[in-house]
Structure 1
């Protein structure tokens, strides 16, 4: 009987091959059609650059700090930043307020003014989609990575709002993360921009909480991802050391400097709330 085993297996595979090939082709065609449709949406959205990108985003607001009786205003931080040199003002600032350390953060925008971190998430989505992987795919296809100091005449940090990040051809990690997080929030995902280091270098990325699982999304990745389940779990991501995180409304800081792979829990303090005006 053994001498027939191999021929029978070969014959079975030969008979199955057309069906296997057909399924493979159908799957490839479906994936190609899906990506082609998505690429068409990206082109249409980009064609509207002349009208949409000129819109002025509402970033003005105040921050209500937990444990403080007085809000921190944007005017207050801008008065302090105005006294700094151009180079100094290009750094991200973490603010203490009325005895509360690391109450919030601000960064220089394209308008050359400092705005609160949460204000850069302006409630923008380039187009509608139900697929959670589409924003990451779009970033991979549509935006080039470039360091700020190369794009802005030596300035170390200049942030783009989520809308600007879509229409600006180039941007660094913060710009990618801001757009990705804001778009995912529009899809109903609990998404946050994480600030910290990756392998010792300053970095920004996105954490998304889906079905009570925390996913770490590298917004600067240029790989195509067509399955949400292919995204890495935050607990398994190596080399990332988060210090702060924020979404449209809240700013969190860790209780200690101890590294963590968890983005929720008692080791995090919700420091403040951004109120857009």
Structure 2
């Protein structure tokens, strides 16, 4: 990931970027779990490209606001900005509500709400929670957006695109992982913030009332959920925002936390697809 821009939808004023976001941990482990062959067989049965173009249209209903933030307004506001200013993730203020939601530029060169990138996609059915992370480790390569997209600073992939695109950066990995886990019945969210001072995106998954931090860009091939780190023990991660298919959360203060639930989080808005 990369710089974030804060944009007030009321005043249309732009606040300077304050984070430079990029990859955190990136590991390699050649050990294959015993069920790896089953994963490879499932992957080989999938078409080499997506057969569905997912709609990302929708509106955002902001807590404390009587008017929704629409995609049409989003596109008009972004088009009024310079190419450089619109190249990054934007955090939106709406009718006096700060940090109401986020948007980012997709492969179609348009900004879309962050929630809309989780399109309900899973490559194949599985009951094993380790399979999505293992699949990412074996299938998708990490690459910065400016290298993959001819100098463009920041492009997000939907979960479906992230599976079929061979390369992607941290939020592309995290979006696919979170969306797949949600299909498995897990309360999974994409977390945005920094890792060791560098901007980053990762996944938090809540299983049996425990919060796990999943490094979606990790190339370790874990075959046990017990190997996943508890979020409370994960060092170096500073979360600012989190989102799933429907909701967007922001912290009440800038104070650091390793807890992804509780009164220090505010559910800022709801994304309604359609």
With structure 2 as the length reference, what TM-score do the two structures score? Answer: 0.87
* Correspondence for 1:85: 82
The reply to whether residue 61 of structure 1 matches residue 36 of structure 2 is: no
- Provide the C-alpha distance between the structure 1 equivalents of 2:89 and 2:79, rounded to a whole number of angstroms: 14
- Provide the C-alpha distance between the structure 2 equivalents of 1:273 and 1:186, rounded to a whole number of angstroms: 19
* Correspondence for 1:100: 97
* Correspondence for 2:21: none
- Provide the C-alpha distance between the structure 2 equivalents of 1:54 and 1:73, rounded to a whole number of angstroms: 28
Maintained 8 Å contact 2:33/2:222: no
Q: Deviations over 1:73-105 (max 9, x none)?
A: 011111011122223222000000000000000
The reply to whether residue 162 of structure 1 matches residue 159 of structure 2 is: yes
* Correspondence for 2:183: 186
Query: Using CA pairs below 8 Å that are at least 6 residues apart, which structure has the higher relative contact order?
Result: 2
Q: Whose Rg is larger?
A: 1
- Provide the C-alpha distance between the structure 2 equivalents of 1:70 and 1:80, rounded to a whole number of angstroms: 16
Structure 1 alignment gaps of length 5 or more: 1-29
* Correspondence for 1:240: 237
- Provide the C-alpha distance between the structure 2 equivalents of 1:68 and 1:44, rounded to a whole number of angstroms: 47
* Correspondence for 2:39: 38
In structure 2, do the counterparts of structure 1 residues 31 and 79 end up closer, same or farther at CA, with 3 Å as the change threshold? closer
**SS where residue 162 of structure 2 aligns?**
helix
- Provide the C-alpha distance between the structure 2 equivalents of 1:43 and 1:142, rounded to a whole number of angstroms: 11
Q: CA RMSD of the aligned region, Å? A: 1.1
Matches within 5 A, 1:67-216: 67-216=64-213
State the 1:35 CA deviation: 1.1
The reply to whether residue 227 of structure 1 matches residue 224 of structure 2 is: yes
- Provide the C-alpha distance between the structure 2 equivalents of 1:155 and 1:41, rounded to a whole number of angstroms: 33
Match of 2:255 among 258, 264, 268: 258
Maintained 8 Å contact 1:87/1:155: no
State the 1:275 CA deviation: 0.2
State the 1:31 CA deviation: 4.9
In structure 2, do the counterparts of structure 1 residues 31 and 178 end up closer, same or farther at CA, with 3 Å as the change threshold? closer
**SS where residue 125 of structure 1 aligns?**
coil
- Provide the C-alpha distance between the structure 2 equivalents of 1:245 and 1:37, rounded to a whole number of angstroms: 32
With structure 1 as the length reference, what TM-score do the two structures score? Answer: 0.86
**SS where residue 49 of structure 1 aligns?**
coil
- Provide the C-alpha distance between the structure 1 equivalents of 2:129 and 2:171, rounded to a whole number of angstroms: 20
- Provide the C-alpha distance between the structure 1 equivalents of 2:33 and 2:136, rounded to a whole number of angstroms: 18
- Provide the C-alpha distance between the structure 2 equivalents of 1:196 and 1:37, rounded to a whole number of angstroms: 35
- Provide the C-alpha distance between the structure 2 equivalents of 1:266 and 1:93, rounded to a whole number of angstroms: 25
| Structure with greater helix share of residues | 1
Structure 2 alignment gaps of length 5 or more: 1-31
